[in-house]
Amino acid sequence: MEKLIITAAISGAEVTKEQNPNVPYTVEETVKEAKSAYDAGASIIHLHVREDDGTPTQDKERFKVVMDAILEECPDVIVQPSTGGAVGMTDEERMQPTELKPEMATLSTGTVNFGGEEVFINTDTSIQNFAKMMLERGVKPEVEIFEKGMVDAAKAYIKQGLLKEPVHFDFVLGVSMAAEARDLAFLVDSIPAGSTWTAAGLGRHELGLGAIAIAMGGHVRVGFEDNLYFERGVLAENNGQLVERIAKISKLMGREIASPDEAREILGLPKRG
Ligand code: KMH
Ligand code: ZN
């Protein structure tokens, strides 16, 4: 089977040091987390950045400093900034990191409830603008899917020429849609032939959904954005611990781990210059 691409969502925008003191805020902490994930086998770093006090920001300059520092330590890694940012940010704020022309960035194709009063809003107009800008800037979207309607929306954007095939999807399950094997199977069955996909299970679903994705031939995302625990009641010490565990499971299941350049090839990204 194809090698496994591991994405590490090292920081997130909603998780805090109060929940796990190892959540990175400063540039140094964020680089340390990226390096621990990279050393353990992650080929993609999905990146949110924070101010030193933990406030989420999409500030282009902050992203540049963090991305440059990550690439110093992990020279071949694929850095994938978030364009989701944090709930409540404007589209203009959210789009800023794509000005840096990263190889990839996320793109959510629908609106989703995050619990309580929190709604992650993505209107049709916003999504079209985000997709257009990513096309212009040569940034490959990772299409973030929280439920099946977002796959159908993505297919409409393909038809409109706003998403180029082959599309790479990330199924983030356990937020809106459940994270059962049948949910993942339904989504995988719904995407266009030739697409690639990753699964990210929230919290206690991270491990089980990851193993299912490995068996199905997909790829896996782990990390503090999705899950702060190594096991029930035990906080993860760093992102590397979570990456190392899924890499071990993958190898036991007969799938080797993709290097960043192998991940580029699988995802159809241009070779590094
Ligand atoms: N933090 C959420 C509002 C993404 O990174 O693109 C958005 C999110 C998805 O996490
Ligand atoms: Zn994210």
Which pLDDT does position 11 carry in this prediction? 97
Which pLDDT does position 55 carry in this prediction? 98
Residue 245 has, within 13 A of its CA and on its CB side, a CA count of 17
Measured from the alpha carbon of residue 114, the closest ligand is 1
- Cα 79 from Cα 47, distance rounded (Å): 7
- Cα 37 from Cα 251, distance rounded (Å): 17
Which pLDDT does position 273 carry in this prediction? 76
Which pLDDT does position 272 carry in this prediction? 87
Q: Please check whether residue 220 is in contact with residue 6, taking contact to mean a CB–CB distance below 8 angstroms.
A: yes
State whether residue 207 is helix, strand or coil: helix
Ligand 1 pocket test target in 96, 98, 106 with most atoms within 8 Å of CB: 106
The string over 171-183, giving b where at least 16 C-beta atoms fall within 10 Å of a residue's C-beta and e elsewhere, is: bbbbbbbebeeeb
User: Tokens 């459940």 label which residue?
Assistant: 178
Which pLDDT does position 197 carry in this prediction? 98
- Cα 4 from Cα 27, distance rounded (Å): 28
Query: Residues with Cβ < 8 Å from 36, sequence gap 6 or more?
Result: 238, 239, 240, 241, 243
Which pLDDT does position 1 carry in this prediction? 83
pTM: 0.98
Task: Spell out, as residue ranges, where the chain has pLDDT lower than 70.
Answer: none
Measured from the alpha carbon of residue 9, the closest ligand is 2
